Amino acid sequence: MIIVMILFPFLMMGQKMSNKKIDQIIATECDSIEGVIGAWQFKLMDRPMFCFTDESNNRMRIICPIAIVEKLDEEMIYDAMIANFHSALDVKYAISDEVMWSVFIHPLKELSTVQFKDALKQVYNAAESFGTTYASTDLFFPGNRGSGKKEKDPIPTRKM
């Protein structure tokens, strides 16, 4: 117990992610790296990806463009939203600037090296599986996984 108490602060310090560590990981795991510390553009298995950090506000995001939204049908967008609940896991599908993205957002300092590497894979997998399984890993949470446009349920009314 005493050893654990002595080592605990050192173990916690080793978990703090920084721009320098992210730069090293991206250099090791990815290809075609461009940009500057805190704003990287790179490829992972030929997919363009970006990583942005804000150390002063303890934020980090990894993003990968999937498609121009106007080229997607309504079912695909609907299924992506269902996947955000069941199969996208740590990654989410999101729309910004008329582009569908796979996105991982996390507090920067609390992120471990293992988590960052896993996030790279999940963002890649979510982008690759868009339009088919909409999955970032092999794990699925139970429930409706999509497969097309659903009829809207009427909004329940409360009887007074």
Does residue 135 belong to any structural domain of this protein? no
Is pLDDT at 109 greater than 90 in this prediction? yes
Does residue 6 belong to any structural domain of this protein? no
Mean pLDDT of 114-130: 97
Does residue 142 belong to any structural domain of this protein? no
Mean pLDDT of 105-112: 97
What local confidence, expressed as pLDDT, does residue 76 receive?
A: 96
Share of the chain above pLDDT 70, in %: 77
Backbone angles phi, psi at 116, to 5 degrees: -65, -45
Does residue 101 belong to any structural domain of this protein? yes
Copy the structure tokens of residue 33: 């790296």
Question: Residue 137 CB: number of other CB atoms within 10 A?
Answer: 16
Give the length of the chain. 160
Domain that holds residue 34: 15-128
Does residue 38 belong to any structural domain of this protein? yes
Does residue 85 belong to any structural domain of this protein? yes
Domain of 118, CATH number, reads: 3.30.1460.10
Cα distance between residue 89 and residue 82, in whole Å: 11
Mean per-residue pLDDT of the chain: 86
Domain count, the chain: 1
Cα distance between residue 138 and residue 121, in whole Å: 12
Is pLDDT at 148 greater than 60 in this prediction? no
Report pLDDT digits (tens) over 53-75: 999 999 999 999 999 999 999 99
Using pLDDT thresholds of 50, 70 and 90, give the confidence band for residue 150.
very low
